[in-house]
Structure 1
Amino acid sequence: MFGIPVTHSDTSKPAGSKHRARAAPDPPPLFDDTSGGYSSQPGGYPAPGADVAFNVNHLLGDPMANMAMAYGSSIATHGKDMVHKELHRFVSVNKLKYFFAVDTAYVAKKLGLLVFPYTHQNWEVQYSRDMPLPPRQDLNAPDLYIPTMAFITYVLLAGMALGMQKRMAGSEPPPLLWHRFSPEVLGLCASTALVWVVMEVLALLLGLYLATVRSELSTFHLLAYSGYKYVGMILSVLTGLLFGRDGYYVALAWTSSALMYFIVRSLRTAAMGPDSVGGPVPRQRIQLYLTLGAAAFQPLIIYWLTFHLVR
């Protein structure tokens, strides 16, 4: 009205507000910042894990530590080589592969030779560049494939024979409980057959050592010749299961005589060795007796391991 400007006050502020409102304080951090070094823990201790990282970095950067690690690695490598050397000394992988170098034709011919050895003429092991030919190229070469497969087949056949005896024994009063099949009895048959072979091989090695026989027969050779008996054992048990006790004894006599002939003809040259030709007569007699004893012992083992399977 009088031209005097009128100043309007801010009516949004509450009455009595004369000072400006203060800003709200920042909330405290949830985690401490440890990127710059040690955390603000009581006592001035470093954060967990910081000293471990420091020690590892210091250890890796220490030349003495690196030298110790390299020396320890060399010792470990040298010990590994020594273990492999001693292992190959007793069990040579290359020699073991030689005894499993077979094919289907060799297996068929070898099985026929084990059952009908009387028509075979040449029993000499063939060589090429002073190295014996593998079994698939030489029928006279010993192998471990047939003994291994025959051993497994014998154990399975023994389980089947014991199972058949269980049913037959259960029908008779009173039942013959000690004939019944069980996994323990099957394991006992396998372990017994394996122990007999090991004892036979050890006896042959001892005999060769006492007779001072210089031959090329190794433990694998003796294990192969001793394992061929499982073929005759399988045939004897199968014949006994099909034709009874009479058939078992006929098959036992045939397979035992065939195995004895095979063992004598196979071990005769190898056991006596070329160095024994023209040697002392007593030593030649001992070597011949050793071969004949090894052959004559086969029927006893076959009978002992199979007679309880045929009832």
Structure 2
Amino acid sequence: MSYYSNNRSPPPLQHPVPTHPAYIPEPPSTPVSPQGYQRYTSSPPSQSYPQPIPPQQHISPSYISHGGQYQPIGSPPRQQPIHGQVPSHMPPTAPVDFSAWGLNDATAQFGMQLGQSAVAAGQDYVQKNLGGLIPITAVKRYFNVSNSYVVHKLRILLFPWRHKPWSRRSRRAENGQVELLSPKEDVNAPDLYIPLMAFVTYILAVALHFGLKSDFRPDILGVRASTGLVVILLDFAFVKLGCYLLNIQGASQVLDLLAYNGYKFVGVIVTLIAGMLNIRGTLYLLVFLYSFFATAFFLLRSLRSVVLPDASATASPVNTAQRSRRITFLFLVAMLQVVYMAILVWV
């Protein structure tokens, strides 16, 4: 029996529907596109039908070329971004989602406001309690140094009798007041960079000195740091008390005195280096005495403008008796450096 007749077309073939239907994008509208696609009004006669795929077989995604890029079949076509334009599929920057940490927006905002209030309260507390003793806003000025200043200042500390002049330089500010120059602009200005670095170097030098003798212990670092701080506080308290008893007005700023008290560590480091170079006996004592006299001479010339200000810089003139007492006090401050330096070197 024949299934075909002369006046009738053969019945269409029934093919199984694929388990994973693929999405075939629409070809370009032009008859022949640059990528090689061609539009047909009807199915080509030589078109082959896909074979059925078993449902148990894993199908790897197929890729088609679209505008020089590859994307899986079945996904919507990608839109090519225009040069200089942000792609539309990129989402805008969203605010931080605090829900991932178990916090809602109200709790997060309250925590941020509470933290800001705590920081502001801490700053106010420090400014009210320490602002009168240590001007925190002016500390930055004492670290305004340069390499040339540090080298020149160290040369003055080691060879002070070769330096001239010792008076500090000043300039007139925009508001008409006279202000002293910063350490970077005036080598005679006190700074806190060299004292701080010398203090840290002193602790490390002592640790190295004990290490070379195979007698290093971890507590040496803490003991030497405490000893250095005690010496600085004793020297500062003595100078501050003397300025109060001698009625030296406006001359004993806290940071200036701390800077001058910290310069003694430079001479102490020189003595420790001499000891590490196996210099012993009389020569070692001469190195210590030289460092002491250099530090004492430096303080005599530097603190002279503090203890004995010019007549134009003070409201009340200094009589002969007051001047004599102040000179004695200045000499005593310089001589006490031998006690402080001996404590730092041998104790």
* Fold equivalence (TM over 0.5): yes
SS at match of 1:137: coil
* TM-score of the two chains, using structure 1 as the length reference: 0.67
- The alpha-carbon distance between structure 1 residues 229 and 276, as it changes in their structure 2 partners (threshold 3 A), is farther
SS at match of 2:139: helix
Asked if 1:267 corresponds to 2:311, the answer is no
- The alpha-carbon distance between structure 1 residues 301 and 277, as it changes in their structure 2 partners (threshold 3 A), is same
* TM-score of the two chains, using structure 2 as the length reference: 0.60
Quote the residue 1:197 is aligned against. 232
Tell me the CA shift for residue 269 of structure 1. Answer: 1.4
One-letter identity of the residue aligned with 2:149: Y
* Paired residues of 1:215 and 1:272 also in contact (CA < 8 A): no
Quote the residue 1:222 is aligned against. 257
Tell me the CA shift for residue 76 of structure 1. Answer: 8.0
- The alpha-carbon distance between structure 1 residues 266 and 245, as it changes in their structure 2 partners (threshold 3 A), is same
Quote the residue 1:158 is aligned against. 206
Quote the residue 2:345 is aligned against. 306
Q: Which of 185, 192, 195 matches 2:220?
A: 185
Quote the residue 1:142 is aligned against. 190
Extract unaligned runs of 5+ from structure 1.
1-55, 57-71, 167-179
Structure-2 separation of matches of 1:77 and 1:254: 49
Quote the residue 2:66 is aligned against. none
* CA-to-aligned-CA distance 1:191-239 (integer Å, 9 cap, x gap): 0111111111011111100111113331111111110000000001111
* Paired residues of 2:240 and 2:252 also in contact (CA < 8 A): no
Quote the residue 1:211 is aligned against. 246
- The alpha-carbon distance between structure 1 residues 186 and 260, as it changes in their structure 2 partners (threshold 3 A), is same
Matches within 5 A, 1:29-108: 82-86=124-128, 87-108=130-151
Structure-1 separation of matches of 2:194 and 2:122: 34
* CA-to-aligned-CA distance 1:93-113 (integer Å, 9 cap, x gap): 331111111010000000000
Tell me the CA shift for residue 240 of structure 1. Answer: 1.9
* Paired residues of 1:214 and 1:273 also in contact (CA < 8 A): no
* Paired residues of 2:239 and 2:333 also in contact (CA < 8 A): yes
Asked if 1:132 corresponds to 2:180, the answer is yes
* 4+ runs deviating over 4 angstroms: 75-82
Structure-1 separation of matches of 2:123 and 2:234: 32
If each structure's helix is expressed as a fraction of its own residues, which one has the higher value?
Answer: 1
RMSD over aligned Cα atoms: 2.6
One-letter identity of the residue aligned with 1:120: H
- Point out which structure has higher relative CO (alpha carbons under 8 A, 6+ apart): 1
Tell me the CA shift for residue 158 of structure 1. Answer: 0.2
- The alpha-carbon distance between structure 1 residues 79 and 165, as it changes in their structure 2 partners (threshold 3 A), is closer
* Paired residues of 2:236 and 2:261 also in contact (CA < 8 A): yes
Percentage identity across aligned positions?
30
- The alpha-carbon distance between structure 1 residues 256 and 276, as it changes in their structure 2 partners (threshold 3 A), is farther
SS at match of 1:128: strand
Matches within 5 A, 1:250-265: 250-265=286-301
* CA-to-aligned-CA distance 1:48-94 (integer Å, 9 cap, x gap): xxxxxxxx9xxxxxxxxxxxxxxx9xx98996674254143333233
One-letter identity of the residue aligned with 2:189: A
Extract unaligned runs of 5+ from structure 2.
1-105, 107-113, 173-177
Structure-2 separation of matches of 1:258 and 1:123: 15
Tell me the CA shift for residue 246 of structure 1. Answer: 3.3
Structure-1 separation of matches of 2:127 and 2:216: 44
Quote the residue 1:20 is aligned against. none
* Paired residues of 1:240 and 1:247 also in contact (CA < 8 A): no
- The alpha-carbon distance between structure 1 residues 78 and 298, as it changes in their structure 2 partners (threshold 3 A), is closer
* Paired residues of 2:264 and 2:341 also in contact (CA < 8 A): yes
